[in-house]
Amino acid sequence: MYKSCNIIMNSLLRRAASIRTPLVNVDRRLSYVDRVRYLQKLKEEDTICLSQVPGGKFLVYSRSKPLIRVDKANTDNALVWLSYEDLIQYHSEVLNSIVLLDVAEDGTPRYSVQVGALATEVQEKMEYSTNASFTDLRAALFMVNWKEAHVLSRANCVLMWNKNHAFCGKCGSPTQRNAAGYSRKCRSCGMTHYPSSSPVGIVLVTDPEEENIILVRQPRHPPGMYSCIAGFSDVGESLEETVHREVAEEVGVEVSSVKYVASQHWPFPGSLMVGCYALAEKQELSIDPHELQDAHWFSRDEITAAIERIQTNPLLRLRGNPSGELFIPPPGAIAYHLIAHWIKRTPVHEIYQHIY
Give 33-98 as a DSSP string: HHHHHHHHHHHH-HHHHHHTGGG-EEEEEETTEEEEE--TTSSS-EE-EEEHHHHHHH-S--TTTE
Judged by CB, which is closer to Zn ion: 173, or 256? 173
Note the Cα 237 to chain centre separation in Å: 23
139 or 191: whose CB is closer to Zn ion? 191
Number of H helices, E strands in the chain: 12, 16
CB of 169 to Zn ion, least distance (A): 8
User: For Zn ion, which stretch binds (CB under 5 A), given 36-44, 162-170, 210-218, 318-326?
Assistant: 162-170
Binding mask 191-220 for Zn ion (x = CB under 5 A): x-----------------------------
Contact, 119 vs 127, CB < 8 A?
no
Of residues 24 and 191, the one with the C-beta less far from Zn ion:
191
Residues 36 and 90 sit within 8 Å (Cβ to Cβ): no
Nearer to Zn ion, 165 or 245 (CB): 165
Q: Does 171 bind Zn ion (CB under 5 A)?
A: yes
Residue among 171 and 318 whose Cβ is closer to Zn ion:
171
CA distance 285 to 355: 31
Give the Cα separation of 203 and 253 in Å (integer).
13
Residue closer to Zn ion by CB (options 196, 299) is 196
Residue with smaller CB distance to Zn ion, 169 or 322: 169
Binding of Zn ion by 184 (CB under 5 A): no
Dihedral angle of Cα 70, 71, 77, 83, to the nearest 10 degrees: -60
Question: Which range touches Zn ion (CB under 5 A), out of 121-129, 138-146, 151-159, 163-171?
Answer: 163-171
Q: Which residues contact 282 (CB under 8 A, 6 or more apart)?
A: 207, 208, 212, 297
Among 26, 36, 166, 189, binds Zn ion (CB under 5 A): 189
Separation of alpha carbons 124 and 40, rounded Å? 36
Min separation Cβ 167 and Zn ion, Å = 8
Ramachandran angles phi, psi of 302, nearest 5°: -65, -40
Q: Could you tell me the smallest distance in angstroms from the CB atom of residue 97 to Zn ion?
A: 23
Binder of Zn ion out of 28, 163, 170, 344 (CB under 5 A): 170
For residue 46, which of 82, 107, 98 has the smallest C-alpha distance?
A: 98
- Residue 168 interacts with Zn ion (CB under 5 A)? yes
Q: Binding string, 116-155, against Zn ion, x = CB under 5 A?
A: ----------------------------------------
Give 355's Cβ-side CA count (13 Å radius). 25
Positions touching Zn ion (CB under 5 A) are 168, 170-171, 173, 186, 188-189, 191
